Amino acid sequence: MNLTDSLLPADLLFFANFIWLVIGVYALRVAPWRALLASPQLQHVFLGASVVLFLMWIFEVGVRPALGFHLLGVTVYTLMFGWSLGVIGASLIMLAVTITNGDWAALAVNALLLGVLPVSVSYSVYALVDRYLPRHLFIYIFLCAFFNAMLTAGVTVLALVVLLVVTETYAFSRISSEYLPFLPLYLFPEGLINGMIITVLVGLRPDWLKTYDDERYLKS
């Protein structure tokens, strides 16, 4: 899923830097810096979760460059820290991944595709569920975590496929025969792992979840 410098046109890679910069500046402005700086525990949790996500992102299985799969884990990350810190953290993680693989020209595109997009989808699904559905523990775990993670991963793969086809990097016939048949084998584990992690956090560390509160989901 990680794009390399040689796969996309240079002008597209360059233009992606401006989009990433605008979104990054906005995320920096609205991020809860006071809460983060005032809580050493939150800082440690944020750093630890970022390291785990980095380790997940550097291991990828695929048939061709960019046509691979790795666990995203972004839904859990977003439910833990919210949209702004999720975007900032995912961007820093992608920066660390780029340091290891050296594809600097594709940094912004990768950050948008694997960071900003899945964080935004994950938070949007959570916001819609929180607004329009009853605040129930099962709904939070199943829809905001399990289903949300599957949907987010699916949207990310779809965006990747569209980008590769539009730029004529790969023909859709090749992607449909060599890549997409493996998609169901990727989506279900993504949802299952995210759902299991959220279930454990709800039971043991609910204070680590920015989007969860016992008063709202249990006592009400």
H-type alpha helices, 71-116: 74-101, 107-111
Span 4-24, pLDDT tens digits: 888 999 999 999 999 999 999
Cβ atoms 217, 137 nearer than 8 A: yes
What phi and psi values does residue 95 have, to the nearest 5 degrees?
A: -60, -45
The span from the CA of 48 to the CA of 35, in Å, is 17
Give me the CATH topology for the region 10-59+66-219.
Answer: Arp2/3 complex 21 kDa subunit ARPC3 (1.10.1760)
Q: Provide CB contacts within 8 A for 141, sequence distance 6+.
A: 195, 198, 199, 202
What phi and psi values does residue 64 have, to the nearest 5 degrees?
A: -145, 165
pLDDT in tens, the chain (220 residues): 789 888 999 999 999 999 999 999 999 999 999 999 999 999 999 999 999 999 999 887 776 888 889 899 999 999 999 999 999 999 999 999 999 988 899 999 999 999 999 999 999 999 999 999 998 999 999 999 999 999 999 999 999 999 999 999 999 999 999 899 999 999 999 999 999 999 999 999 999 999 998 888 876 5
Q: Provide CB contacts within 8 A for 78, sequence distance 6+.
A: 86, 118, 119, 122, 123, 126, 211
